[in-house]
Amino acid sequence: MTMTEGMVGPDALSARDGRLAVAVHLPWYRSLPVSCVESVRVSVDGVPAPVRTVHVGDFAGRVEEAAGSEGSWDLRDPLDVVLDVAASPGETHAVEVALAVRIPYIQQAPGVALVQRATARTEGTLR
Rounded Cα distance, 126 and 95, in Å = 11
pLDDT tens string 9-56? 989 999 999 999 999 999 999 999 999 999 999 999 999 999 999 999
1-10, 58-67, 84-93, 104-113: range with lowest mean pLDDT: 1-10
Give pLDDT, residue 1. Answer: 43
Q: What is the pTM of this model?
A: 0.93
How many residues are given for the chain?
127
CA distance 44 to 56: 21
* Helix or strand (DSSP H, E) at 111: none
Q: Give the domain ranges of the chain.
A: 10-125
99/120 Cα distance (integer angstroms)? 9
CATH number of 10-125: 2.60.40
Say yes or no to pLDDT of 2 above 50.
yes
Cα 35 from Cα 58, distance rounded (Å): 12
